[in-house]
Amino acid sequence: MTRFPHVFRLLRHAVLALSLLSLPAAAAPFAAYVMDARTGQPIYRQNADTRLHPASLTKMMTLYMAFSAIERGQVRLDSRFTISSKAANEPPSKLGLRAGQQIELRYLLRAAAIKSANDAATALGEGLAGSEEAFTQQMTQMARALGMNNTQFRNAHGLTREGHFSTAHDMSILGRHLFYDFPQYYNLFSRRSADAGIAQVAATNRRFLDDYAGADGIKTGYTRAAGFNLTASAQRGNKRLIATVFGGTSTAQRNQVMAELLDNSFPRIPDRVREVKPQRPRMLVQATTRRAQVAPSTAATQPEPQRMVLQASPPPTVRPAAAATIATAAAPRVDLTEALRLAGATAPAPVAPGVALASSNRPRARPGSAVAPEAIEEAIATAVASDSAPAASASLAAPVLAASSRPTPSPRRSASTAAVAPAPAVVAEAEATPAPQPQAAAGSLVLDSSNKPKPRSETVILAAMGEGDLGNPEALEVVRRPTDSGRSFGVSLGLYTSQAEADRLLLGLALQDGNLFGAASRQVANTNRGFEPRFGNLSKGHAELACERMRSRSKPCTVLGN
């Protein structure tokens, strides 16, 4: 009888244990989101904006930041990262990195994307930003730039931490940007295995990639708090979907839910639609551009003390008449022709004293005038013959000529008339057909006009700008460059078996890097070894930058130029 209570207690404990095992585990909250990748339009959503633990889906942003750094030229695929003790001590899943070890960036990318290695993700963040804290701040800033408004990062690998959260909607946005912003790296997410430098790694997403037709990525994630997460991309014909599932209860259940969501969503979207690519954030498109430095020559840097170029010179000043004073502004100018005409008709007209007569052409006779040309010649000759004031002269022009000083000789006349300056007159307008101008006899006084002053040269040569004269100035070096100066370089992009393949490469790079290759010339050289695609008409700095970008993508590139 004493053995029955003991047996009863054993049976009771066994039943309790079985009942506990049969109880379901506490499941993480479930969320799902499906979008048309071509337009970004939602197809299905369930708790899509609920903030949940993203687990290793965080590494999608870590990889996005690494791809962006490569695009900017900050790092290259062969850049070597030093592993810190913090990165080496991260919990599994991990690649097995050791503190102090150096490894190329390409292997860290493969380990983080394919194996979902936590130590590789931490090494990426520390190598790109200096510390994981600084890197997570950049990750959150990038999330805001991409439109992920309900996402915040606290580490680079996705292990559960307070304040580290995202949503199914935001992770689908990030998956779409990975597909469109970095198509050259997107095939990394469809690999089943890869060489990670120190080990061969297998993909955590290989089951879904193998089971679902058209699936080509992207990333899995699991923690106890998050459950089984997956962001997937699949294509059927012209259609492409991107979907995210949070809170799966197992890998198989998560993959089954994802397959059902995709199967139900493909028939709901049109076969052909206008593709609307997502806009890349500003910090992503800022590229580092190197400018070729040209050493300045001596002539270009030293000042020119002996030469001064004037933009405009002032008009020449009016020459004063010899032995005559300039009349005041208020004094009226006397019209000699009108005075002579009035003198021939009536009495001489009074002339204002102190008037200087300007030089002008000989006046033509007014048609029908009462004064004959011979009378005018006689009046002028009589006035000039007198050295003193012609008060008693019988000339009709005496009152006019008496008010002016003796004119200076014309510089263009012969010696016979050099001592006499031409008398000024104003040409009257012809009222009818002008009469022919009479020819002057030999030895007679002829009124001449002076030439217009020659325009001053825009370049004024000064004898010296400093102390003393510079008799023999140093010769200046004149440097001339053609309009395309500095753009005589190019790049060679390797050898290809067909010209069509080489043409496609040149066209694709021109479309992808329009800022770099937009003005470059494209040609395919047919050599004995194959078809060689080339870009020409580049500066030296642009050619070197182009080759750096190509080498970062493991593509051959050689700078061509003199």
Residue with the bigger pLDDT between 548 and 159: it is 159
- Domain-embedded: residue 51: yes
Contact of 123 with 196, CB cutoff 8 Å: no
- State how far the Cα of 150 lies from the Cα of 140, in Å rounded to an integer: 10
pLDDT for position 289: 44
Measured distance CA(264)–CA(283) in Å, rounded: 37
| CA pseudo-torsion sign 111, 115, 117, 122 | positive
The verdict on residue 235 lying in a domain is: yes
439 within some domain: no
Residue 30 has pLDDT above 90, yes or no: yes
Residue 425, domain member (yes or no): no
Range of 59's domain? Answer: 31-285
Please give the average per-residue pLDDT across 117-142, as a whole number: 96
pLDDT of residue 425 exceeding 80, the answer is no
Q: State yes or no: pLDDT of 372 exceeds 70.
A: no
Give strand pairing partners of 31.
246
Give me the pLDDT at residue 38, please: 96
Residues 493-522 have a mean pLDDT of: 83
Q: Which amino acid, one-letter code, is at 347?
A: A
Number of domains in the chain: 2
- Whether omega before 376 lies within 30 degrees of 0, making that bond cis, reads no
CATH number for the domain harbouring residue 507: 3.30.70.1070
CA 95 to chain centre: 43
β strands within 376-477, DSSP E: 459-461
Q: In this predicted model, which residue has the larger pLDDT, 540 or 58?
A: 58
Query: Does residue 99 register a pLDDT over 60?
Result: yes
Q: Which of 271-285, 324-338, 395-409, 448-462 has the lowest mean pLDDT?
A: 324-338
DSSP classification of residue 409: P
What is the predicted pLDDT for the residue at 401? 53
Residue 527 lies in a domain: yes
Q: What is the pLDDT of residues 271-295, one digit of tens each?
A: 999 999 999 887 544 444 444 444 5
| Whether pLDDT at 529 is above 90 | no
Burial of 105 (0-12, 13-18, 19+ CB in 10 A): buried
Mean pLDDT over 482-503 rounds to 79
User: Measuring CA to CA, how many Å separate 256 from each of 154, 165, 211?
Assistant: 30, 24, 10
pLDDT of residue 499: 87
Flag whether 379 is in a domain.
Answer: no
With a cut of 60, say whether residue 79 has pLDDT above it: yes
DSSP strand pairing (200-202 vs 193-195): antiparallel
More confident residue, 308 or 200: 200
- Write out the catalytic residue numbers: 56, 59, 116
For residue 228, give the CATH number of its domain.
3.40.710.10
Instruction: Choose one of 247, 267, 285: the last residue of a domain.
Output: 285
With 0.95 as the threshold, say if the pTM is over it. no
Indicate the residue among 285, 314, 347 that finishes a domain.
285
Residue 129 included in any domain? yes
Question: Quick check: 184 and 153 in contact, CB under 8 A?
Answer: no
* Pairing of the two strands 80-82 and 42-46: unpaired
188 within a domain of the structure (yes/no): yes
User: Which of 47, 28, 23 shows the shortest CA–CA distance to 253?
Assistant: 28
pLDDT tens digits along 336-355: 566 656 655 544 445 445 44
The torsion angle over the Cα atoms of residues 180, 185, 186 and 190, rounded to 10 degrees, is 180
User: Residue 152: pLDDT band by 50, 70, 90 thresholds?
Assistant: very high
3-state secondary structure 71-92: HHCCCCCCCEEECCHHHHCCCC
> Helix axis angle, 373-385 relative to 336-345, nearest 10°?
110
Q: For position 406, what pLDDT does the model report? A: 63
Q: What angle do CA 551, 552, 558 make, to 5 degrees?
A: 15
Rounded to an integer, what is the distance from CA 459 to the centroid of its chain?
Answer: 37
pLDDT of residue 317: 62
pLDDT tier, 214 (very low <50, low <70, confident <90, very high otherwise): very high
Do 207 and 220 touch, CB atoms closer than 8 A?
no
Give the pairing of strands 215-223 and 102-104: unpaired
Integer angstrom CA distances of residue 413 from 179, 320, 361, 421, 514:
93, 19, 14, 9, 74
Domain end among 285, 319, 352: 285
Count of Cβ atoms closer than 10 Å to residue 71 Cβ: 22
